[in-house]
């Protein structure tokens, strides 16, 4: 039996180059080697308020971007989290096993809680729902960006705690980070992770951004007081642009950019990004030509994975002594 891969993206805004280089690109590369399940995690998105009309559009847009970025729906199952009740059901069962102190220590909870006037319980429970997503499929490999490493560690700790309380139930999932691009920083502030929820104009390169917009954002990206690239001591802004360029085009090396003036270097970065996104944007337009196509592939994905989720939920309930027929 092939090992199983699971990962997800929130349909909470414009997908950006960080989501692509940190997650989607790696998913497309490894999908053929494993039994792969890729999820639009809409239950995670609603841990902060989402406009209902926008959210239902974004769910389909995100699914179309998965396919446009190279996820093959014949090879991999593309599913929507809220369409499979096992995610929420297992999340409750695991909530009863998760120590509150572990949740309060999560850095994402702490930084999100700082930004909200009212802190929803969903933000605190976010890692439990993520653990449920992964453990529901007994996934052994989880390809994510670096920001999710702590949540993966939490998932393993929770699985171990469950296994030691109720007997061997869950497979231990391993984190799989991409070699380049595991942490892309904001163009306007290279100290902050590029993020969908940060909406300032110069922060992120959207996967559907026009070439002109990409050129403009990269030209305005924050750098430092030097004027030419020194590969031995790149400031954080230049290092981030270099990572983006190298992840988009492997022929861009430190030797190639050494001594380049910042203006020329930024042009090279923009060219690499535009060339990488052009076929994705073209495929996206083709796919979204027929809106029913996305609903059909989401339905097919769901049907394919449902037996796995039923098995796991029954196994967990049985282990806990709950009522299972
Ligand atoms: N900047 C990034 N660099 C590399 N990988 C990244 N990922 C996210 N940002 C980067 C990876 O993309 C996958 C989906 O993550 P997400 O849906 O949580 O994306 P986001 O942009 O982080 O979204 P939000 O709504 O802004 O979430 P918060 O505010 O929680 O950060 C994951 O594999 C992630 O690692």
Residues 130-164: b if buried by 16+ CB within 10 A, e if exposed:
bbbbbbbbbbbbbbbbebbebbbebbbebbeebee
Q: What is the mean pLDDT of residues 13-31?
A: 97
pLDDT of residue 119: 86
Helix (H, G, I), strand (E, B) or coil at 72: coil
Q: Would the CATH topology of 4-182+291-320 be identical to that of 211-285?
A: no
pLDDT tens digits for range 274-302: 999 999 999 999 999 998 999 999 999 99
Helix (H, G, I), strand (E, B) or coil at 210: coil
Residue 116 has pLDDT above 90, yes or no: no
pLDDT of residue 118: 84
- Give the confidence band of 40 by pLDDT, cuts at 50, 70, 90: very high
| Ligand 1 shell residues, CB under 6 Å | 9-10, 12-13, 18-19, 22-23, 108, 144-145, 147-148, 182-184, 193-197
d(CA 155, CA 133): 10
325: its two tokens: 């027929």
- Residue 91: phi and psi, rounded to 5, are -60, -40
How far is ligand 1, taken at its centre, from the CA of residue 24, in Å? 11
Could you tell me which residue, 258 or 116, shows the higher pLDDT? 258
Q: Decide if 218 contacts 262 (C-beta within 8 A).
A: no
- Tokens 């337009």 belong to residue: 285
Domain boundaries, the chain: 4-182+291-320, 211-285
pLDDT of residue 324: 94
- Choose one of 13, 14, 15, 22 to mutate for the ligand 1 pocket test, by most ligand atoms within 8 angstroms of C-beta: 22
pLDDT of residue 45: 98
pLDDT of residue 113: 85
pLDDT of residue 89: 98
d(CA 142, CA 160): 17
pLDDT of residue 115: 80
Q: How many CB atoms lie within 10 A of CB 193?
A: 17
pLDDT of residue 143: 98
DSSP 108-162: HHHHHHHH-SS--HHHHHHHHHHHHHHHHTT-SEEE--GGGHHHHHHHHHHHHHH
How far is ligand 1, taken at its centre, from the CA of residue 181, in Å? 12
pLDDT tens digits for range 215-258: 999 999 999 999 999 999 999 999 999 999 999 999 999 999 99
- Tokens 């609903």 belong to residue: 295
**CATH class of segment(s) 4-182+291-320:** alpha beta
Q: Which residues are catalytic?
A: 112, 193, 196
DSSP 152-176: HHHHHHHHHHHHHHH-S--PPPEEE
Q: Which CATH number fits domain 211-285: 3.10.129.10, 3.90.1300.10, 1.10.240.10, 3.10.450.50?
A: 1.10.240.10
pLDDT tens digits for range 2-21: 899 999 999 999 999 999 99
Residue 308 has pLDDT above 90, yes or no: yes
How far is ligand 1, taken at its centre, from the CA of residue 197, in Å? 9
């Amino acid at each position: 039996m092939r090992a199983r891969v699971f990962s997800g993206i929130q349909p909470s805004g414009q997908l950006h180059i960080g989501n692509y280089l940190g997650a989607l690109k790696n998913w497309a590369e490894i999908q053929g080697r494993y039994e792969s399940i890729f999820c639009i995690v809409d239950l995670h998105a609603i841990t902060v308020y989402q406009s209902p009309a926008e959210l239902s559009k974004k769910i389909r847009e995100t699914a179309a971007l998965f396919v446009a970025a190279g996820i093959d729906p014949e090879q991999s199952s593309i599913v929507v989290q809220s369409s499979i009740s096992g995610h929420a059901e297992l999340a409750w069962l695991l909530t009863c096993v998760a120590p509150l102190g572990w949740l309060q220590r999560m850095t994402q909870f702490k930084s999100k809680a700082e930004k909200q006037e009212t802190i929803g319980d969903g933000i605190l429970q976010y890692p439990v729902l993520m653990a449920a997503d992964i453990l529901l499929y007994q996934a052994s490999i989880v390809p994510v960006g670096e920001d999710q490493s702590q949540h993966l560690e939490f998932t393993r700790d929770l699985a171990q705690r469950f296994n030691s309380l109720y007997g061997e139930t869950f497979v231990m999932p391993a984190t799989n980070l991409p070699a380049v691009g595991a942490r892309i920083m904001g163009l306007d502030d290279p100290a902050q992770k590029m993020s969908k929820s940060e909406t300032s104009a110069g922060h992120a390169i959207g996967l559907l951004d026009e070439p002109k917009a990409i050129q403009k954002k990269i030209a305005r990206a924050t750098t430092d007081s030097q004027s030419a690239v020194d590969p031995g001591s790149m400031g954080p802004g230049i290092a981030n642009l270099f990572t983006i360029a190298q992840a988009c085009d492997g022929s861009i090396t430190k030797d190639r950019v050494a001594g380049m003036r910042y203006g020329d270097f930024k042009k090279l970065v923009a060219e690499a990004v535009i060339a990488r996104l052009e076929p994705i944007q073209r495929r996206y337009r083709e796919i979204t030509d027929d809106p029913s196509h996305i609903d059909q592939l989401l339905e097919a994905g769901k049907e394919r994975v449902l037996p796995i989720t039923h098995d796991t939920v029954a196994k967990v309930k049985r282990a806990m002594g709950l009522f299972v027929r």
